[in-house]
Structure 1
Amino acid sequence: MNQFVIQLIQLYKTLLSPLLPPACRFTPTCSEYAAQAFQEYGFFRATQLSIWRILRCNPLSQGFDDPLPPNTKGRN
């Protein structure tokens, strides 16, 4: 399931992202962060991390370097 989601993210980055103005205020970008989350964590935790990141990426946010938290429990 995670590989499918990663492929969807790659499809978004290839087809839709170039058509939109750069807006992500974080490093790595939200799509890169989500792809990393689905590589590192199980489906539900990766979904939770990705949604939380997207909610924080808005015009009121100053943005900053926000790497993926370390996975100390192994793949959930």
Structure 2
Amino acid sequence: MRNMSFEDINPAEIPDLDEMNIDVTKSKREKILGILESGKNPYFIKSGNIVVKVGFASTSRTIEEALESLVQMKW
């Protein structure tokens, strides 16, 4: 699933962020397991008509740290 491209996916089958119900009382691990057990491709998500491919590197850097660096570089 990770190696799939935008051409390989059907946008109608991608979960929409606006329609997702995430239980914020669950731990990070439980939330991740819920997504993986849903049967959906965890590497693609959409918001309205915009499809986003999610990727990651095998480092200790968190998404929060990466976004913070991006904001600091941009502004």
TM-score normalised by the chain length of structure 1:
0.26
Bigger strand fraction: 2
Which of the two has greater helix per residue? 1
Higher relative contact order by CA 8 Å / sep ≥ 6: 1 or 2? Answer: 1
Q: TM-score, normalised by structure 2?
A: 0.26
